[in-house]
Amino acid sequence: MRPTWAGRCSSLLKLEDVEVYHGQSLVLKAISLHVQAGEIIALVGANGSGKSTLMGALTGLNPVRRGKVVFLGQDITNKQPHRIVASGMSLVPERREIFNALTVEDNLILGAYHRYYRDKKNIRQELQNVLDMFPALRGKEKRLAGALSGGEQQMLAMGRGLMSNPRLLLLDEPSIGLAPLIIQEIFKILLNLKELGTTIMLVEQNAQLALTYSDRAYVLERGELVLDGASSALLKDPRIEAAYLGKKAL
């Protein structure tokens, strides 16, 4: 086996010394990380630590001032968002950003907009697959997205993200504002997706949840990566327990 091929194949996404500003303030400092194909990666951190900013930087929403983002062996730093989607990375954003005044079905189809005119036939079928994955949406295809419940909206946002056929799905706080039962349901679906071969990067404030369901995790603190490792190990790490899992430091 050629080592270069193996390296490229396993490292789906790679960040090298990425720096991001909001206006004048440095929000992300020298972030370097990598995501392997097939794993669920968690990114945990407190409010304001820069998690969403990082998601934005990956998807072209926030400009990267320094450093490099490499996805599937290609430099995608500062590419326009719609090009990044087309290259196989899709973000389900923190505020969901669904199209309230369009129907559920239209929302889902627009998820595949970048290839709609090339791939019309398959898209109908994929729409059915996504509805199978989120049965809660079935029967509500013609409803306006704005009229869905919070949990349904989150599922719609995820389904819409999946419609682009991503190699890497980025999820920014999918659990926020949802009841525990629905959270359970959503995370089961994530495991399911992993089985089907989609790589997932998961942003969560709820570290317990994130670490339970992920393979590996990074911890972000005030714009810097301070810890990383296997999720199971981090779950037992005293620093994590103190800061994120609500247990007293030893």
Ligand X SMILES: Nc1ncnc2c1ncn2[C@@H]1O[C@H](COP(=O)(O)OP(=O)(O)OP(=O)(O)O)[C@@H](O)[C@H]1O
| Contacts of 3 by beta carbon, 8 Å cutoff, 6+ apart | none
We find the least distance from the C-beta atom of residue 74 to other proteins, in angstroms, to be 17
**Should residue 164 be labelled a site residue for other proteins when binding is judged by CB under 8 A?**
yes
Q: Which does 110 bind (CB under 5 to 8 A by kind): other proteins, Mg ion, ligand X, none?
A: other proteins
Tokens of 138: 């079935």
What are 236's two structure tokens?
């037992």
50 binds, among Mg ion, ligand X, other proteins, none (CB under 5 to 8 A by kind): ligand X
Please identify the residue of the shown chain whose CB is closest to the bound Mg ion: 52
Binding mask 39-68 for ligand X (x = CB under 6 A): ------x-xxxxxxx---------------
Kindly determine how many residues on this chain lie close enough to bind ligand X according to the rule CB under 6 A: 13
Q: Is residue 116 helix, strand or coil?
A: helix
Task: Please identify, using beta-carbon distances, which residue of 52 and 214 lies nearer to Mg ion.
Answer: 52
Quick one: how far is CA 17 from the chain centroid? Answer: 20
Least Cα distance to 173 among 240, 91, 69 occurs for: 91
Handedness of CA 213, 33, 162, 148 (dihedral sign): positive
Using rule CB under 8 A, residue 109 touches other proteins: yes
Q: Which is nearer to ligand X, 23 or 180 (CB)?
A: 23
How many C-beta neighbours within 10 Å does residue 74 have?
11
User: What does the binding site for ligand X look like in residue numbers (CB under 6 A)?
Assistant: 22-23, 27, 45, 47-53, 94, 205
